[in-house]
Amino acid sequence: MTDQKTAPAADAAVQLDTLTGAEMVIRALVDQGVEVMFGYPGGAVLPIYDALFQDNEKHGERLRHILVRHEQGAAHAAEGYARSTGKPGVVLVTSGPGATNAITGIVDALMDSIPMVVLTGQVPTHLIGTDAFQEADTVGITRACTKHNYLVKDIRDLPRVLHEAFHIATSGRPGPVLVDLPKDVQFSRGVYQGPTEVKFGHAYAPRTKGDAVRIAEAARLIAHAKAPIFYTGGGVINAGPEAAKALRAFAAMTGAPVTSTLMGLGAFPAADPAWLGMLGMHGTFEANHAMHDCDVMICVGARFDDRVTGRLDAFSPNSKKIHIDIDASSINKNVRVDLGIVGDAGSVLADLIASWNDQGLTANRQALDEWWRQIETWREVRCLRYGKSEQTIKPQLAVERLYQLTKDRDAYITTEVGQHQMWAAQFYRFQEPNRWMTSGGLGTMGYGLPAAIGAQLAHPGSLVIDIAGEASIQMCIQEMSTAVQYDLPVKIFILNNEWMGMVRQWQELLHGQRYSQSYSSSLPDFVKLAEAYGAKGIRCSDPAELDAKIIEMIDHPGPVIFDCRVEKAENCLPMIPSGKAHNEMILPEELDDLGSVIDEAGRRLV
């Protein structure tokens, strides 16, 4: 390459002021406060890895790189790190397959609004478009699955782009931002600028402050409600711990019950009497019935996902709906609302509290008492009950015991995707935000183990457990090696029923018990697998031994794979059948009828 930009500067003074592109990347990460990143080296990122090596030699591990075993693992680990800290997750991968392997994690972060910055190597600019070795059109491929992305072709743009990437990833509705870095740009020299020195090139300016008039109207609507309900989501978690505090305070002022989506668990404490549990397809009877019968719904940072709403034309038919969301396009997307407020969940909740006080509003206690009496009748249904067994471990029992034995510890829970994920959401009771990491929107099997690794790196002294299924865990099992390498004592608690349980459940209920390709055949011996990786393996199939073995797992100082052999045929209930409304939930004892409850139209839904 004879590019003038790469020519070494003539005098030493100039050279001091300039950095290579690769050095700028490391410098920008440090300036952005990044402490940990997840990655995998390759040809197109070697200069960055070299700059990292030299930075670590010079400054110690101020920027720690975690070597994963597959780029998908890097992206999920960054998600787990981000979700458990509120800080952006950072991924560094090479061109071509490095980038394409990371894509599942990038889409996952987009769907669940996780702040993430992905740095990908690219072939040198003069080779772009020639089908060079390990070339892929990374910005083209990821345009639809990032919040924003960049291809940096000029070293002069690099400092601005790097800082913009962090700004965009972490502000507004968070999401993944990808920066594609051709190898020649990594070698080029240029003048570095810090986060406060660069001038952003975009007009991007998300609105965080809600409209005061609408907030005042919302406060009055809530005060006059006879049967209000808070329906909260991941937006409350993303808005930071202050948002969760404001939610708790405002819920207490209004006397309204609180339910939450899968993504929002922990924003409101499960121990609070106003907590109704999760809503939606596998949510609680009381949460779904309260949603159906409420007269004022306050949706905060949730997006009326199809898993939450059930049948849309029968969704909470008699309520006035208030929707607070930082993303204007979420409002009126699936469900038309009466009062949309665009803004940050924390900011709007704080303003609602202020407005409530300013207007001297009080809740209608008499009506609320009646509302709570009604809710109690739904609670009495005890929708999460399940048959106990002395012979086999019920999966619900396994999660319940896991919760009881870890609730007084500093615990973080991740999951894979499927039945075990729903049981974890139903039976593990979260009291604080950022403690629960799960793949909600995309539903990515293989998320839980790398996410646990990311959470464990952020919280080295804490107990991090991946509640898994035997099928899902095999999708990113290679990250066991990462956990062992970095002494990360993550616990993988597999609810092993030898089936892709949720697939099996749907086949049982909707496809005439034709179990097509859903049996987990040829399973590895998970205890030996753990040992092969240098970790500890535990197996339990006897309910009587469950507690002791869970304690053994918790007390082990290193990573553990716990093969919990559970009841094979257990179904995840209660359930809103496909195509049905919130008040048409199926309870455990009604299961036999389920096939007849779901009609042909429902069968065609996902």
**From candidates 3, 338, 498, 547, binder to another protein by CB under 8 A:** 338
**From candidates 9, 204, 589, 590, binder to another protein by CB under 8 A:** 204
Which residues does residue 494 pair with via DSSP β-bridges, in sequence order? 468, 563
CB under 8 A: which stretch of 20-28, 138-146, 490-498, 546-554 binds another protein?
Answer: 138-146
Residues numbered 554 to 583 that lie near another protein (CB under 8 A) are 579
Asked whether position 362 contacts another protein by CB under 8 A, the answer is no
Q: How far apart are CA 195 and CA 206, in angstroms?
A: 19
**Tokens linked to 1:** 């390459």
Amino acid at 428: Y
Residue 567 falls in the annotated catalytic set: no
Alpha carbon of residue 26 to chain centroid: 27
Amino acid at 201: G
**From candidates 12, 16, 203, 544, binder to another protein by CB under 8 A:** 203
**From candidates 201, 387, 460, 534, binder to another protein by CB under 8 A:** 201
Cβ at position 79, least distance to another protein in Å: 21
Total Cβ atoms within 10 A of residue 62:
13
User: Which residues have C-beta within 8 Å of that of residue 59, sequence separation ≥ 6?
Assistant: none
Between 172 and 277, whose beta carbon lies closer to another protein? 172
Residue 193 falls in the annotated catalytic set: no
Considering only CA atoms, which of 47, 36, 43 is closest in space to residue 74? 36
Q: Give the β-pairing of 463-469 and 436-437.
A: unpaired
Cβ at position 9, least distance to another protein in Å: 29
**From candidates 336, 385, 409, 528, binder to another protein by CB under 8 A:** 336
Cβ at position 91, least distance to another protein in Å: 19
Residues numbered 141 to 200 that lie near another protein (CB under 8 A) are 143-144, 147-148, 151, 168
**From candidates 15, 334, 357, 404, binder to another protein by CB under 8 A:** 334
Cβ at position 206, least distance to another protein in Å: 9
Considering only CA atoms, which of 343, 248, 357 is closest in space to residue 301? 343
Residues numbered 290 to 329 that lie near another protein (CB under 8 A) are 306, 309, 311-315, 327-329
Asked whether position 3 contacts another protein by CB under 8 A, the answer is no
Across 247-270, b (16+ Cβ under 10 Å) vs e yields bbebbebbbbbbbbbbbbbbbbbb
With contact defined as beta carbons under 8 Å apart, do 573 and 288 qualify?
no
Question: Quick one: DSSP state of residue 71?
Answer: H
Residue 281 falls in the annotated catalytic set: no
* Interface characters, 490-509, with another protein (x: CB under 8 A): --------------------
From the list 502, 553, 575, 585, the catalytic residue is 502
Q: How far apart are CA 52 and CA 509, in angstroms?
A: 53
Q: Give the β-pairing of 18-20 and 189-191.
A: antiparallel
Between 270 and 294, whose beta carbon lies closer to another protein? 294
**Tokens linked to 553:** 């797992």
Residues numbered 451 to 480 that lie near another protein (CB under 8 A) are none
**Tokens linked to 600:** 């042909």
Q: How far apart are the first and last CA of the chain?
A: 53
Residue 263 falls in the annotated catalytic set: no
Q: Give the β-pairing of 463-469 and 228-232.
A: unpaired
Residue 470 falls in the annotated catalytic set: no
**Residue numbers annotated as active site:** 71, 133-134, 183, 502
Sites of contact with another protein (CB under 8 A): 139-140, 143-144, 147-148, 151, 168, 201-204, 306, 309, 311-315, 327-329, 331-336, 338, 579, 604-606
